[in-house]
Structure 1
Amino acid sequence: MLQNIPLYDICSLSDINQDDILISRFAPYLDTHKNLFTTHRHSFYHLVLFTAGGGTHSIDFENFEVKPGQIYFMIPGQVHSWAFEGFTDGYIINFSASFIQSFLLQHGYLESFSFFSGNLADAVINLPDQTYKAIKPLFEAILAEAATPALSAGDMVRLLMLQIFILVNRVGVASVLNGNASYNQTLIKSFKNLIEHHYTDVRLPKDYAAMLYITPNHLNAVCKDIMGISAGELIRNRILLEAKRMLINQKLSISEISLKLNFSDNSYFTKFFKKLENITPEEFRKKLINDHGK
């Protein structure tokens, strides 16, 4: 029975005393950490570039098909599992926020990349051939630096990682066609950042609109144009995601989860969850336990 979803830090996954970064080819990493196939969470940033393999991987309860040339990014706290088919390989880098931030003066630099926002639509990217061919040697260079550290090896790894981030980010930026779209994308990003910080205590779109110095109608129109859903749905979806993450933890009762998410009572929380997910929180938890036991 699933008692509590594991939360891994870098130290628990490394053979050496290293709590800032772990770099590896993917196949040997999988052989060493077979426990990571089942649902788990990370306390660190995590990225994988697939060079071979098939099957699926799941991030925050959404499944993605594994493809060579696909890169995905995860932020601390997200829920994750793998279901590979056949031999799977690539590159993996696990790193702490401080590993990169210690190298930069700009606070929050990682969050400037859309794939580190926690939005799954931006976090799993099937790379164009040109980008894939450009970043694969960078991963090889990172592995080489890790295998035989030279003077300022850590800084070289940071530089190579930043090159990867910038090149991958250009794939997304290239899809922005005009200045208005760029402004709306920035607005959505700011809205999502506000939701991330306030979803337990601020529930109404009009309150977020006030924080953004725009009208509620403007906010809703931009959300529908860019995301295809209303501002209210974005807020509710974030609350639902956190509820799902908490429901994995068997040590938390439904009432405790309801309280942590700032619902007035357990009944209201259950109605909220069932309206969005079509099952009750208890049923969702039982399904997770059954799936985990397969």
Structure 2
Amino acid sequence: MKATAPPSYPLSPLARAGVLVRPLAQRPAPSEHPHGTAHRDAHYLLVLLQAGELRLTLDFEELTLSGPSLLLISPGQVHRLREAVAAQGWGVSFEPGLVDEQARDVLEQHLRRPVALVGQATFEARAHTLLALLADCQTEATAPIGPALQAMLAALLQLVTALLVPAMTSSGANVSRAEALVQGFRRLLRQHFTEWKQPARYAAALAVTPSHLNDTVKALSGHSISTHLQQRIILEAKRLLYYSDQPVKQIGYALGYDEPVYFGKLFKKVTGLTPQQFRRTIRE
């Protein structure tokens, strides 16, 4: 089987001020990328499914969403829409730079899997109203509507974060020191996982001791710093092994490992398979 790396697409040229909203029932424009083939996006996609079903593949996991539910697809995640069954609702794509770091951490941590909205009629109604207004305003051809679109997106994301973490406020006053430290670690991990392999690097950047950082991360997430790092590395390795024909050695180099043997041992330790075995198995 011949495989090529999944393409990575920027935000649609139809977006305005870094935001694009569309009803799920609306077909993509010819100028946009296909959604039925595996790909990555350089932007976020927040899906509010109000009715029907969406069947998709997200980073090797087959998901079936039933309305009402929420799903976030983050930049870099490999995904493919397999089928939409009478799907009603909204999809909003937006540039990462429009999301403040605190909201970004909450979204990525709590929307890693679909969230059912059963019993959340008030949230659903408010989100629908904002999304419908966004969709209407983005058709404005003459007025400088960009700031308004971004303000409405910020209001929508505040609604979502308040749903996911009820105690959170826009000022961040209710975020504890421990939570702030873990959020800082997640940000650094997202930026430096191919370069920084030692917990001490993250601790130094956050001005705490490695033991304190590790204890805090483990207490709040259930996993050590090393486990988080390994999971992030292995996920990216799986993407490259499946969607590209790069040699295993080259993939190891791309992920920051100068010794191919060490990379292979780490992959097998985490997955139970060598990189070559995983590639053969996943492509069968």
TM-score by length of structure 2 reads 0.82
State percent identity of aligned pairs: 25
Which residue is 1:79 aligned to? Answer: 78
- Maintained 8 Å contact 1:73/1:116: no
- Residue 155 (str. 1) matches residue 147 (str. 2): yes
1:277 deviation in Å?
1.3
Task: Report matched runs for 1:213-252 at 5 Å.
Answer: 213-252=207-246
Which residue is 2:69 aligned to? Answer: 70
Which residue is 2:156 aligned to? Answer: 164
Which residue is 1:201 aligned to? Answer: 195
Which residue is 1:22 aligned to? Answer: 20
Which residue is 1:110 aligned to? Answer: 100
- Residue 174 (str. 1) matches residue 166 (str. 2): yes
1:95 deviation in Å?
2.9
- Maintained 8 Å contact 2:17/2:147: no
Q: For 1:289 and 1:89, how far apart are their aligned partners in 2? A: 33
Per-residue CA distance 1:222-254 (angstroms, 9 max, x = gap): 222211111210111111122123223424221
- Maintained 8 Å contact 1:73/1:115: no
Q: For 2:58 and 2:94, how far apart are their aligned partners in 1? A: 18
- Residue 10 (str. 1) matches residue 11 (str. 2): yes
For residue 40 of structure 1, what is the amino acid of its counterpart? H
Which residue is 1:60 aligned to? Answer: 59
Distance 1:31 1:158, change over 3 A: closer
- Maintained 8 Å contact 1:2/1:289: no
Distance 1:197 1:9, change over 3 A: closer
Please identify which structure carries the higher helix content: 1
Q: For 2:167 and 2:56, how far apart are their aligned partners in 1? A: 25
- Maintained 8 Å contact 1:114/1:123: no
Per-residue CA distance 1:62-93 (angstroms, 9 max, x = gap): 45441323222233222112344622222112
Q: For 1:280 and 1:274, how far apart are their aligned partners in 2? A: 5
How many pairs does the alignment contain? Answer: 276
Which residue is 2:251 aligned to? Answer: 257
Per-residue CA distance 1:81-123 (angstroms, 9 max, x = gap): 234462222211223346x4xxxxxxxx433214576446557
Gapped regions of structure 1 (runs ≥ 5): 101-108
Q: CA RMSD in A?
A: 3.0
For residue 234 of structure 2, what is the amino acid of its counterpart? L
Q: For 2:273 and 2:25, how far apart are their aligned partners in 1? A: 37
TM-score by length of structure 1 reads 0.80
Specify the SS of the correspondent of 1:155.
helix
